[in-house]
């Protein structure tokens, strides 16, 4: 079993179980063999360094064997102390002796590579293979832009540089995006993708996969004076034009190692590539020689691991959750598993397409990833472990009978979109808080003092269920809330009262109809003039509105087709929310002195806020845009105006101050 996984991992670059699971099995086997030596066989995976030469790539014997390194799986600071204690005892240092100096660096999660430079020129690149013999991958390695084909300032007959070829996480995601676009299989993780790319038989195939490299050690050397410390070697590498990670340090003793372990652990998720630990090396080469080797590993180095970010577990069920915006997300309910430092029992499957593409089903064994604060996700299925009674592929519509699991409204998926959504909008409890906050925000009804904490409290206490409930609030229910004094309760009620007098555009925007932003709300209000005309408008009629296309039109139609939504609108009107409506056909327009003008605002104006200036300009018929172009008529600039002002000057566009703007607005059209 273990041998099979080892073969998949090292030889085929296509593991079926996470590394942590392999490590666990390996350690289990080691423990069994230690307890029952009679069971130990010569071909046990514990008895050799695994990795074979692939048929097709030329075998290369390493001039100096490529060793492996001891792994400290105790991820606590104790792991570093144990290593320091082993080193000190091997060097016969007593407690009074000064602390040992270590070079601390990252443990990159890729594959080891030996780069052979002769007279400064790259002549051979070989994988580690079994440590004695690797594979010639020179052609492929030449496609990696980061690897110099000639070293700077080196003419030594032989200089072998060892390091790790890896794939950055963003490059990996981009590659998978491309695979999805092509409808091809996505890759499971950056490490295996990098390993697979390096061992391609066709260098052109390698070149399409973005690889990177970090140097961390030496192989054979002839005619080059090796620096006295490991840190010195890395500095020399950097000077030769080789990529060396900047996240390295020379530290003193166990405490220095621990500090590095903690610091890099905190930084781990912000790094653009995966690491599975840090590596400590005795810095002095003289001491390294004194310490020497065990069978395969140097005594002067250790890899100190971090908790694994991927683990294997079983999917018990697949739930569909409704988000604050009505988005329906399939979530795998898992057999709890310890991953990335916490116990995880839910992992997102993102959407129906992703679930089907990965073919995740109830009963499957899956690999779960949790990196830092990112929500845990299911990376893939371990198909080998699929039970005979596994569930059906996910059909979200069928699973839900076409209805939102929270409010029972119809669910819908727009063309070209991956997400199913609940159409309940204002009515759906899952969307309640979001809907209320949106309605109350400054650019909608503008209820001052109704922020997210208060909305949380009001909804959680069951005081507010739908938008109209806002206007039923009384002093008693507000005073009952935590931290709500009499004064602030009264202020809120006054603000609510004030907010009732609004505009049709603000009201429409506040309803939170999908795809109806502020500008579209204004367009709709201007075109229809009255809410009832808009609510009853046919699709064709909606499409008559300038700047309204089929997506917006159908979203407006769907919204007002839901009886719940109409009810909310009626109740809001009954509560006294009102605006001026034009009763004839389209709103009769007030004089618009700036009609057709395109204006950009930048910097801080002396008295007007950005929103006030925008409202004034729009009321006068101008269009306010975000970036300066040849179409811009004026740029209104205040203090600390930046690149937009430069751009205006460059294009010769008129720049106005606040006074000039106010003068323009006051001028008769």
- Which residue numbers are catalytic? 107
For helices 78-90 and 253-267, give the axis angle rounded to 10 degrees: 150
User: Rounded to the nearest whole angstrom, what is the least distance from the CB of residue 373 to ligand IVH in the complex?
Assistant: 25
- For 600, the token pair is 């950009």
Rounded Cα distance between 325 and 40, Å, is 59
Q: Which of 5, 62, 107, 522 binds ligand IVH (CB under 6 A)?
A: 107
Letters for 145-164 (x = contact with ligand IVH by CB under 6 A, - = none) are -------------------x
H or E element at residue 494? helix 486-499
Q: Which residues of 284-311 are buried (b: 16+ CB within 10 A; e: fewer)?
A: bbebbeebeeeeeebbbbbbbbbbbbbb
Burial of 637 (0-12, 13-18, 19+ CB in 10 A): buried
Of the candidate spans 104-112, 177-185, 221-229, 350-358, the one that interacts with ligand IVH by CB under 6 A turns out to be: 104-112
What is the contact mask toward ligand IVH in residues 119 to 148, using x (rule: CB under 6 A)? ---------x--------------------
How far is it, in rounded angstroms, from Cα 311 to Cα 325?
A: 31
Give the position of tokens 């041998």.
Answer: 3
Binders in 178-197 for ligand IVH, by CB under 6 A: none
Q: Which residue is nearest to ligand IVH (CB)?
A: 112
Q: What is d(CA 286, CA 100) in angstroms, rounded to the nearest whole number?
A: 12
**Nearer to ligand IVH by C-beta: 209 or 304?**
304
Tokens coding 379: 């990376």
Residue 284 Cβ vs ligand IVH, minimum distance, rounded to whole Å: 15
Q: Contact, 125 vs 62, CB < 8 A? A: no
Q: Determine how many CB atoms are found less than 10 A away from the CB of residue 474.
A: 10
Q: How far apart are CA 431 and CA 562, in angstroms?
A: 15
Alpha carbon separation from 664 to 23, 127, 149, 617, 634 (Å, rounded): 74, 72, 64, 10, 11
Report the nearest approach of ligand IVH to the CB of residue 280 (Å): 10
Q: Among residues 35, 48, 44, 38, which one has the least CA distance to residue 1?
A: 44
By beta-carbon proximity to ligand IVH, the closer residue of 167 and 303 is 303
Q: Closest approach of Cβ 45 to ligand IVH, in Å?
A: 15
Instruction: State the nearest-atom distance from the C-beta of 71 to ligand IVH, in Å.
Output: 7
Beta carbons of 82 and 88 less than 8 angstroms apart:
no
**Binding residues with ligand IVH: total (CB under 6 A):** 15
Between residues 217 and 424, which has the closer beta carbon with respect to ligand IVH? Answer: 217
Site for ligand IVH in 48-87 (CB under 6 A): 67-69
> Does the protein bind ligand IVH through residue 108 (CB under 6 A)?
yes
Q: For the window 203-232, what string marks contact with ligand IVH as x by the rule CB under 6 A?
A: -------------xx---------------
Q: How far is the CB of 106 from ligand IVH (least distance, A)?
A: 6
Question: Which of residues 6, 301, 308, 534 is near ligand IVH by CB under 6 A?
Answer: 301
At 342 the three-state DSSP class reads: strand
The smaller minimum CB distance to ligand IVH, of residues 5 and 107, is found at: 107
Which residue in 307, 303, 309 sits closest to 257, CA to CA?
303
Output 211 or 516, the one with its CB closest to ligand IVH: 211
* The binder of ligand IVH chosen from 104, 151, 279, 478 (CB under 6 A): 279
Q: Out of 112, 215, 242, 244, point to the residue binding ligand IVH (CB under 6 A).
A: 112
Among 105, 274, 310, 364, binds ligand IVH (CB under 6 A): 105
Binding site for ligand IVH (CB under 6 A): 67-69, 105, 107-108, 112, 128, 164, 216-217, 279, 298, 301, 303
């Amino acid at each position: 079993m273990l041998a099979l996984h080892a073969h998949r991992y090292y030889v085929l670059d296509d593991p079926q179980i996470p590394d942590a699971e392999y490590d666990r099995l390996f350690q289990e086997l080691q423990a069994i063999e230690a307890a029952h030596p009679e069971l130990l066989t010569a071909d046990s995976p514990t008895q050799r360094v695994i990795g074979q030469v692939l048929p097709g790539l030329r075998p290369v014997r390493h001039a100096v064997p490529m060793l492996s390194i001891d792994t400290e799986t105790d991820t606590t600071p104790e792991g570093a102390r144990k290593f320091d204690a082993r080193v000190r005892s091997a060097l016969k240092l007593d407690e009074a002796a000064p602390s040992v100096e270590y070079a601390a660096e990252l443990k990159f999660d890729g594959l080891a590579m030996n780069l052979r430079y002769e007279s400064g020129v790259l002549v051979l690149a070989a994988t580690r293979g079994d440590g004695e013999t690797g594979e010639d991958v020179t052609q492929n390695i030449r496609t990696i832009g980061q690897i110099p084909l000639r070293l700077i300032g080196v003419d030594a007959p032989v200089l072998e540089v060892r390091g790790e070829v890896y794939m950055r996480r963003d490059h990996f995601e981009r590659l998978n995006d491309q695979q999805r676009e092509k409808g091809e299989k996505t890759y499971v993780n950056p490490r295996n993708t990098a390993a697979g790319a390096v061992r391609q038989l066709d260098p052109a195939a390698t070149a399409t996969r973005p690889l990177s490299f970090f140097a961390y050690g030496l192989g054979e050397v002839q005619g080059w004076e090796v620096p006295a410390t490991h840190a010195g070697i890395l500095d020399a590498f950097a000077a030769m034009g080789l990529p060396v990670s900047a996240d390295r340090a020379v530290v003193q003793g166990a405490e220095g190692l621990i500090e590095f372990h903690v610091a890099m652990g905190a930084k781990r998720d912000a790094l653009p590539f995966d690491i599975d630990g840090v590596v400590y090396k005795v810095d002095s080469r003289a001491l390294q020689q004194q310490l020497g080797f065990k069978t395969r590993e140097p005594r002067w180095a250790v890899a100190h691991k971090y908790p694994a970010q991927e683990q294997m577990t079983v999917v018990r069920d697949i739930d569909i959750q409704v988000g604050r915006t009505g988005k329906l997300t399939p979530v795998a309910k898992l057999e709890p598993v310890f991953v990335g430092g916490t116990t995880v029992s839910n992992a997102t499957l993102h959407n129906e397409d992703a679930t089907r593409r990965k073919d995740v089903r109830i009963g499957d064994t899956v690999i779960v990833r949790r990196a830092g604060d990112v929500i845990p996700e299911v990376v893939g299925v371990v198909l080998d472990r699929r039970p005979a009674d596994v569930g059906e592929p996910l059909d979200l519509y069928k699973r839900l009978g076409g209805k939102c699991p929270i409010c029972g409204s119809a669910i819908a998926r727009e063309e070209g979109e991956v997400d199913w959504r609940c159409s309940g909008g204002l009515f759906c409890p899952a969307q309640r808080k979001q809907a209320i906050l949106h309605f109350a925000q400054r650019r909608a009804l503008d209820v001052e003092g109704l922020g997210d904490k208060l909305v949380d409290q009001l909804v959680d206490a069951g005081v507010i269920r739908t938008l109209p409930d806002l206007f039923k609030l009384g002093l008693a229910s507000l005073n009952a809330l935590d931290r709500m004094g009499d004064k602030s309760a009264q202020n809120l009620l006054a603000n609510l009262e004030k907010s009732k007098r609004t505009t049709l555009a603000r009201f429409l925007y506040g309803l939170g109809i999908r795809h109806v932003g502020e500008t579209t709300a204004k367009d709709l209000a201007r075109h229809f003039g009255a809410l009832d005309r808009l609510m009853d408008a046919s699709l064709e009629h909606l499409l008559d509105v300038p700047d309204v296309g089929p997506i917006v039109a159908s979203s407006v139609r769907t919204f007002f087709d839901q009886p719940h939504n109409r009810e909310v609108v009626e109740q809001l009107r009954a509560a006294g929310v009102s605006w001026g409506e034009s009763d004839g056909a389209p709103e009769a327009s007030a004089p618009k002195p700036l009609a057709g003008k395109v204006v950009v605002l930048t910097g801080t104006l002396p008295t007007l806020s950005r929103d006030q200036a925008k409202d004034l300009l729009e009321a006068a018929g101008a269009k306010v845009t975000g970036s300066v172009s040849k179409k811009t008529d004026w740029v209104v600039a205040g203090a600390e105006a930046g690149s937009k002002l430069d751009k205006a000057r460059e294009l010769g566009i008129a720049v106005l101050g606040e006074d000039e703007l106010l003068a323009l607005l006051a001028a008769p059209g």
